[in-house]
Chain A
Amino acid sequence: MMRQDTSGHGRNAVEVRGLVKHFGDTKAVDGVHLNVREGTVMGVLGPNGAGKTTLVRMLCTLQLPDSGTATVAGYDVARQPRPLRRRIGLTGQYASVDERLSGFENLYMIGRLLDFSRSGARQRAYEMLERFSLTDAASKPIMKYSGGMRRRLDLAASMMGNPEVLFLDEPTTGLDPRTRQEVWDHTQQIVAEGNTVLLTTQYMEEAEYLADELTVIDHGKVIAEGRIADLKARVGQRMLVIRPAVPQHLQHLVGVLTHYGLAGTVADEAQGVATVPIVSDEQLSGIVRVLGYYNYPIADIATHLPSLDEVFLALTGQKTDSQDAGPPGSGPQGAGSGYQEAVA
C-alpha cells in the first residue's frame, strides 16, 4: 500500500538515533534507530512490553531519553519540547479524552489549548466531529460512548491541530473486530491525506493494512525493519493451518510436507495442527493435491495472516515472551488469532 510521496523530498519527519531508556535495571528501549519519511506511515510492531509505548512517549516529550537523540518535525525531543509539541498529535493506548465531558466539549477545549479563537475552536470541533462520524453524539458525555466512538474521538482530538506527525499507540488494542475496522477506516483516511504517522501495534494485519514500512522491535531492540512486502517475503504471505482428524497423522503429515519442499512447516502438538508458511497460490494448491494423494482425513484447514508470534518465530526463531501472559483482548492462541479466514 505504498502511497505517492507527495512532498517529493523524502525528508525524515522522525529521526531516532540510538535511543535508550532504562526503568531500574530493565532497558525498556535499547538503542533504537528509526527513520520515518515525511508523508509515510511507519508501523512499529512488537509484543507487549517490547518498548513500543516507551518509544512513543519519548518522541512525544512525555519522557526523557537516557541517551541517544530523536527529532520530530525537525525538533529535538529533549531540548526543544515546546515547538515540538505544537506539531504532533498523540492517540494513546487508552482513550485520552475527558470522560465527563461531551465529545464537543472535549474538542473545543483542545482547540482553545491550541490557541484557536472561540469561534475557530467551535468550528474546528464540529468539522472534526463530522469527519469522524460523531456529529450525532456531539453533546453526549464520553461515558456513554462505545469503545470505537472513544477511539474515534481520540483521533479527532489528535487531529484538531492538524499535526505534522501523528503518533498512534496501539489504536485498536482491545477493540472487537468490527470496531477495529471502523478505526482503521478513519486512520486510513488520515493516512491518505499525506500525514506522517508512527503507529505501534501488536497486530501484523493492522501494520499491513495501514503502514508503508515496518520496524519490528523486541526487548527494546530493533530486530527487523523494511518495507512490509520485503518482510513478508521473509515471513510468508499467509500461514496455512491444517488439523488432521487423526492426531497420530500429524508428524507424518509434517514429514510429507517438508519432503515436498515446504521447509517452514511446523507441528504444533499441543494444538494438534501443522502450520505452513505460504508464499504463493501455487503452493496452496500443491498442498491440497498432496493431502488428497495421501488421503488424510482433515478436520480443519484454514489460512490466516501471520500473527505476531509467527512473525517473531520466522525472524528470530523464538516465540514472544508475551505468549504465556497473553495480551488483553486477544484469543488463547495469541495475538492475531482473531483474523483467521477460512479457505472457502
Chain B
Amino acid sequence: MTTPTMAPQTPTTAAPQRSRARGNDGGRIGLRANLRHTGALARRNAVQIKQHPELMMDSLMIPIVFTLLFVYVFGGAMGGGSPESASENRDAYTNYLVPGIMAMMSLTMAMSVGTGINEDSRKGIMDRFRAMPIARASVLVAKCLVEMCRLLLSLVVLVIVGFLVGMDIEGRWMELGAAMGLTLFFGTSLLWVFMLMGLTMRTAQAVQGVSFLVTTPLQFGSSVFVPTDTMPAWMETFTKFNPLTHVADANRALTMGTGEVANPVMWAVIWSVGIIAVIMPLAIVRFRKRT
C-alpha cells in the first residue's frame, strides 16, 4: 500500500446523521441481522406471489392435473385391464399413485427455482443485493424458504385431490404427515441443485432445457407411476439408484402400510443430506463469488 487511506472510524462531516441504525462497523453480520435480512427477502418473494397469484398456478394445478390424468387414463388398465375390474383397479392404482406423485412434486416444484434465480440475476436486482451489507447467502436461503412453502402447499393440494378420487390411508394420519415431511426435506435438497444450475448457466432457457432433460427420465425411470419389477433389468437397476424411487417407496410404505419402511426412508434421508451437504455450499460459494 503506497497510498494513505483514511481511518475508517473518522466521522464524516459532510453528512452527520448517517443511518447506520444497528449495523456495526466491523462488517460481520450477526445472527439477528441475518434473520431480519432473510425475512425481508422472503417477504419479497411472498409479496411477489400475492401480487401475481398466477405464480402459484404450477403448485396448485400440477398435482390436480397429474392425479386426474393418471388415475382416470391409466388407472383402469392397471393390473390386467379387463373392463369388469376397471373400477377396482383404479382404486388400487390411486393408492399406489398418490404417494408417488408426492415424490414427483418435490422434483417438479424444485425445477422452477432455477429459471427464477437465473432471471433474477440478470435483472440488476441481484447486483443491488450483492452491493448491500448483507450476507449474500440470505438471498438464497430466503428463496429456499418460500419455495418450501410452495412445495408444502402443492403437497396439501395433492393429498386433498387424492382423497377426492378415492385414496384410502386407513387412518394413518401420522404416517401421512411423516411422508409429507420427508418429501419436503428431499425437495429442499433438490432446490439447491436447481439454484446452483440457475446460478451457473447463462440463460433461463438453457436452465429450463437441461432441467427438462434431467427430470423427465428421473420421473419416469422410477417407481413413481408404476412398480419397477416389470421393467428390464438395466432399467430396474437405474430406478434403484434414482432417489425418487426411494422417496416414492418410502411415502407408499408410510401411508399405505405396504412394504418395508425403514430402508427407503433411510435412503431418502441419505440422498437428501448428501445433496444438501455437497450442493448447498457450492451454490452459496457460486453466489458469493466476485469474478
Contacts and interface: CB of A to CB of B under 8 A. Distances in A.
A95 B123 CA distance: 8
A148 interface: no
A161 B51 CA distance: 26
Interface string B121-133: 0011101111111
B48 A62 contact: no
Query: In terms of DSSP, what is the predominant structure of the interface of chain B?
Result: loop
Contact of A162 (B3, B15, B40, B124): B15
A78 to B, nearest CB: 9
Interface centre among B7, B129, B133 (most CB of A within 10 A): B133
A62 B290 contact: yes
A120 B21 contact: yes
B290 A98 contact: no
Interface stretch (B29-37, B101-109, B270-278): B29-37
Nearest to A21: B291
A7 interface: yes
A57 to B, nearest CB: 8
Interface string A178-206: 00000000000000011110000000000
A69 B8 contact: no
A252 interface: no
Contact of A38 (B14, B18, B123): B14
Interface string A82-105: 110110101011111111111001
A69 B25 contact: no
A60 B36 CA distance: 23
A109 B43 contact: yes
Contacts of B230: none
B163 to A, nearest CB: 34
Interface string B1-23: 11101111010111101111111
A96 B8 contact: no
A83 B124 contact: no
Contacts of B124: 92-97
Interface stretch (A110-118, A212-220, A310-318, A327-335): A110-118
Contact of B19 (A85, A96, A116): A116
A196 B125 contact: no
A62 B51 contact: no
Interface in B183-219: none
Contacts of A161: 19
Interface string A1-45: 000001111011001010000000000000000000011000000
A11 B17 CA distance: 19
B291 A64 contact: yes
A117 B171 CA distance: 47
Contacts of A94: 123-124
Contact of A85 (B6, B41, B131): B131
A6 B5 contact: no
B239 to A, nearest CB: 40
A20 to B, nearest CB: 14
29 contacts: A7-B13, A9-B13, A38-B14, A60-B127, A62-B130, A62-B131, A63-B291, A64-B290, A71-B3, A73-B8, A73-B12, A76-B5, A82-B133, A85-B132, A92-B128, A93-B124, A96-B124, A97-B124, A97-B128, A98-B44, A102-B51, A109-B41, A110-B128, A112-B43, A114-B19, A114-B23, A164-B15, A193-B15, A195-B14
Given A38-B12, A80-B8, A96-B127, 10 more contacts: A9-B13, A61-B130, A62-B131, A74-B5, A82-B26, A82-B28, A85-B132, A114-B133, A115-B23, A195-B14
Interface of A: 6-9, 11-12, 15, 17, 38-39, 57, 60-64, 69, 71, 73-76, 80-83, 85-86, 88, 90, 92-102, 105, 109-110, 112-117, 120, 124, 141, 157, 161-162, 164, 193-196
